[in-house]
Structure 1
Amino acid sequence: MNLENVIEVLRLIWRFCSRTLFELQGTKITLISLVLGLMIFLFARSLAKLSERLVHRLISDRGLEKGVSTAIAKITRYFVLTIGVIITLDTLGVNMKSLAALGAVLGVGIGFGLQNITQNFISGIIILFERPVKIGDLVTLDGITGRVVDIGSRSTRIITQDDTTIIVPNSKFISDNVVNQSFTGEIIRYNVNIGVAYGSDTKKVKEVIEKVAQNTPGVLKEPAPQVFFEDFGESSLDFSVAVWASDLWHSRKILSDIRFDIEEEFRKESIEIPFPQREVRIKP
């Protein structure tokens, strides 16, 4: 094959690639423009992921908390990806003004069908900006408690203490009641209720409970535990102890240890834990 034949083959390939496949808003779309647009989009997507990692690393090195750095990194990724999509459409010759008008018309038609998706996406953006929850927070939603491990564009992943991953639509964090135990920091107060028999030495009961709470691993020394005489119950004198803990994830074990130790100390001090009793009298 001589040089002339090679040139002729290249011309045929160029003609084929330059052939109009279809028209979009008066712009002729060719195979070359499609391939070029696809390459630009793939490059923009890769650049968006790279920028997310770089921004996350730079912000993390400055000592900001993980939730803040993750939110800024995700917003950077969405911004770069949006710019890439705009450049891709412009490369294909799509008129952005016409596309905006078309999008407004189509938005009305498909809005109902994509209502939930759009709602979750917008809710995800609100979560990233307002940060009612952030990665690492311990939250309770619909009676389920877990730690937030990822906030995506459509949904948020929560992992429970049973190592079960729950995928929650972002809109639920905006519309439903959410208990965020980490919102004001990683310190929270817990209460343990205790009942003792009538006739017990209440001062001694208080001393025993305070001693146990102060010596339980995981309970903070400051603020110090507090014991309250809550009420005169039907079958018991009702006490409660308020303790502060910073290990929210293992709070269940901390409270369990307090109950175990209180029961053990009560047996040593002969303090009785009563059970409900009823006295029935039968008249002759």
Structure 2
Amino acid sequence: MKEFLDYTLIEYDNFNFKVYTLLEIIVVFFIVKLLLYIIKTGITKSTRFDVAKKYSVYQLIKYFAYVITAVTFFHIIGFNVSYLLLGSSALLVGLGFGLQNLFSDFISGIILLIDSSVKVDDVIEVDGLVGKVVQIDFRTTMVVTRDDKYIIVPNTDLTKNQLVNWTHNDILSRFEIKVGVSYNSDVNVVIKLLKEATLSHKDVEKKPEPIIRFSDFGESSLDFTILFWSNEVFRIENIKSDIRIKIFDLFNENTIEIPFPQRVVHSPK
């Protein structure tokens, strides 16, 4: 058995990679995977954190474990990590200048995971792009848009640019729909129908109650604005569409006209 364990698999100059070295690496690998599984299970069952924070905590622990594992592998093989880093310091300085953006993304990833300003399942808006956070890695964050397109966003873009987090504190978000009706419409009836259409949707919050504003006397219509609150931020455009359809049906039932823009064209004499 000892002869088998001492059998040299790779030999180069003073470097000897033996069977027992390979077995040590395999054992360490499986121990780390087992520990990560136990930690993940414990974090998942914990009731102290929400889903997003559980993800962040586990990601930080996993990356830390990977670093320790890599150092351990070097030690088992026989490399002195301190000498390796010292000998390659000049190279690392050169790489540092060339990979500034990459390092910046890594630091930004750590910041996002620690301070939880952006979490998994948050609905965010960056540079006009609205998406739900699917995964946060050290370098990039994956978001899915309302068109179900997956976009990879560098973490630096989430920390240095102005960012709107629609679901940061689980507070209801307010949205609006604009509607115009003809000048011969009964304003009180219009307000009643708009509120009825809005409250009929299951994803519109009943408290606070939707607000109907008579916004303005338009060029060809009386303009109203519906203000309502909802938790369904990501699919809000679908909710608005459903409400508009309901408004259209109620207007037809009550002979409320939505006017076409009117233009007067004068022909030259």
TM-score scaled by length of structure 1: 0.81
Return the offset for 1:92: 3.9
CA gap of 1:127–1:42, structure 2 versus 1, over 3 A, is farther
Q: Which of 204, 222, 232 does residue 237 from structure 1 map onto?
A: 222
Return the offset for 1:121: 1.8
Paired AA for residue 30 in structure 1: N
Q: Which protein is bigger by CA-based radius of gyration?
A: 1
Following the alignment from structure 1 to structure 2, what is the Cα–Cα distance between the partners of residues 247 and 18?
59
1:21 maps to: 12
Gaps of 5+ in 1: 1-6, 23-27
Return the offset for 1:96: 4.3
Task: Give runs of aligned pairs for residues 51-200 of structure 1, distance below 5 A.
Answer: 51-63=35-47, 64-185=49-170, 187-200=172-185
Identity, in percent, stands at: 32
Return the offset for 1:78: 1.4
What is the DSSP-based 3-state SS (H/G/I as helix, E as strand, rest coil) of the residue aligned with 2:97? coil
Return the offset for 1:128: 0.5
1:247 maps to: 232
CA gap of 1:31–1:158, structure 2 versus 1, over 3 A, is same
Contact preservation (8 Å) 1:229, 1:240: yes
Task: Give runs of aligned pairs for residues 185-224 of structure 1, distance below 5 A.
Answer: 185=170, 187-224=172-209
Contact preservation (8 Å) 1:196, 1:238: yes
Gaps of 5+ in 2: none
1:25 maps to: none
RMSD across aligned positions (CA)? 3.0
Contact preservation (8 Å) 1:140, 1:179: yes
Contact preservation (8 Å) 2:25, 2:76: no
Q: Does 2:263 align with 1:278?
A: yes
Following the alignment from structure 1 to structure 2, what is the Cα–Cα distance between the partners of residues 84 and 135?
26
Q: Does 2:23 align with 1:32?
A: no
More displaced 10-residue stretch of structure 1: 186-195 or 46-55: 46-55
4+ residue segments displaced more than 6 Å: none
Following the alignment from structure 2 to structure 1, what is the Cα–Cα distance between the partners of residues 196 and 181?
16
Contact preservation (8 Å) 1:266, 1:272: yes
Deviations 1:79-115 (A, max 9, x none): 2222222223333444444344335322211123333
Aligned residue pairs total: 268
Following the alignment from structure 2 to structure 1, what is the Cα–Cα distance between the partners of residues 266 and 10?
103
Deviations 1:167-219 (A, max 9, x none): 22222212233332211216321111111122422222111111111122211
1:262 maps to: 247
CA gap of 1:283–1:110, structure 2 versus 1, over 3 A, is closer
Following the alignment from structure 1 to structure 2, what is the Cα–Cα distance between the partners of residues 226 and 251?
17
CA gap of 1:42–1:236, structure 2 versus 1, over 3 A, is farther
Contact preservation (8 Å) 1:186, 1:248: no
What is the DSSP-based 3-state SS (H/G/I as helix, E as strand, rest coil) of the residue aligned with 2:249? helix
Paired AA for residue 247 in structure 1: E
Return the offset for 1:75: 0.9
